[in-house]
């Protein structure tokens, strides 16, 4: 997400990592961080384009509700980190309700239109964490 990378370039301790659909390759990255922000498509049964925010235990680490097309790998990663006691101390997921759950490479126009708002939420969250002692 170039817009996100551009907005976060000023923070030297912030790394943007593309998770793609292979969540398990993120285990090392997740285990090495204290603060984690995830941006993904989230099927919460809302109107397409709705931005959803989940915090810490609200992020479904290992229960049955299918919330994201990338969920299986990511759920396994969070569970593995939790079992190894290396889970980040604070996590936030910003998701956008997709227009369609059909797997594809491009974002729908309605989801694409929400990206600047999601990026602003990510930046505000990082600012909050940066100013928390």
DSSP states of the chain? -HHHHHHHTT-TT------TT-GGGGHHHHHT-SEEEEEEE---S--TT-EEEEEGGGS-SS-S----TTHHHHHHHHHHHHHTT---SEEEEEEE--S--S--SSPPHHHHHHHHHHHHHHHHHHHHHHT--
With respect to CATH, is domain 2-130 assigned 3.40.190.10? no
Q: What is the pLDDT of residue 61?
A: 53
Q: What is the pLDDT of residues 58-72, one digit of tens each?
A: 886 534 455 555 455
Question: Is the pLDDT score of 19 beyond 80?
Answer: no
Band of the pLDDT at 56, cuts 50, 70, 90?
Answer: very high
For the chain, what are the domain ranges? Answer: 2-130
More confident: 70 or 19:
19
């Amino acid at each position: 997400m170039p817009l996100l990378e551009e907005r976060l370039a000023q923070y030297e301790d912030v790394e943007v990592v593309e998770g793609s659909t292979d969540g398990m390759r993120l285990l090392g990255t997740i285990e090495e961080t204290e603060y984690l922000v995830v941006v993904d498509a989230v099927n919460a049964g809302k109107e397409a384009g709705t931005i959803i925010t989940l915090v810490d235990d609200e992020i479904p680490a290992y229960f049955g509700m299918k919330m994201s097309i990338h969920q299986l790998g990511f759920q396994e990663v969070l569970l593995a980190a939790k079992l190894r006691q290396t889970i980040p101390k604070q996590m936030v997921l910003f998701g956008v309700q997709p227009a369609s759950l059909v797997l594809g490479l491009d974002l729908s126009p309605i989801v694409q239109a929400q990206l600047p708002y999601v990026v602003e939420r990510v930046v505000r969250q990082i600012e909050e964490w940066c100013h928390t002692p």
